[in-house]
Amino acid sequence: MLNPLLLIKLVILKTGLFFILFIFAFKQGNTQQDTSALFKRFPVVPPFSLMKTDSGWITKDGLKKNHPLIIMYFSPGCHHCVDQMEDMLKRKNDFNEIQILLATYQPLEELRAFEQKYKLYDYPNIQSGRDTKYFLQPFYRIRNLPYLALYDKKGKLVTTFEGNVKVDQLVGAFK
């Protein structure tokens, strides 16, 4: 038979150990969630490089200064992405002062067909390119398309959206 004092110490020790392990596990879980997406740790326009369909490059340094920016990660064959682009083009005047950067992981041939279909070369504020280094998807932890990241004119992150977004909500986020 165990000494009652020893039994009480053993229960206290086990209980204390349980709480320490619980707190440690909870803290680890929160740390990973808070820092898992790089865009949350670095809420500024990321240092991307996208290959254009003419084999040129679009980089952060090539963007217009002091203009808001929408980075839209998309796939030319995704019907949600197509719907988003069509909604935005219907209200193109609302985006005159906003740079729109379309980024895809799909082959350049698909991007080229998308550019031609929507005559993107007619819009000086829209650029598109292929994320050949697959940088943006892990940076934003993208799970659904289209994915939109909005930055103010100083390059600071305003908000992000996964899936289709109403144009009024996009435009309103910059006000």
- Which pLDDT tens digit goes with each residue over 31-46? 444 457 888 899 999 9
Tell me the pTM: 0.79
At residue 156, the pLDDT reads 97
Residues 77/106, Cβ–Cβ less than 8 Å: yes
Do 45 and 31 lie in one domain? The reply is no
- Kindly state whether residues 45 and 32 are assigned to the same domain: no
Which DSSP letter does residue 61 get?
G
- Cα 20 to the chain's mean position, in Å? 35
pLDDT at 40: 87
> Which pLDDT score, from 0 to 100, does residue 16 have?
47
Whether residues 89 and 31 share a domain: the answer is no
| Of the candidates 161, 85, 83, the residue with the CA atom closest to the CA atom of residue 123 | 85
* Bridge partners of residue 100, in order along the sequence: 70, 126
pLDDT reported for residue 52: 98
Q: Do 158 and 113 lie in a common domain?
A: yes
Give the three-state DSSP class for 166.
coil
Indicate whether 101 and 165 sit together in one domain: yes
Q: Are residues 54 and 22 in the same domain?
A: no
**Structural domain harbouring 12:** 4-36
Residues of the chain with pLDDT under 50: 16-19, 21-22, 24, 26-34
Distance between CA atoms of residues 121 and 174, nearest Å:
24
- Tally Cβ neighbours within 10 Å of residue 120: 18
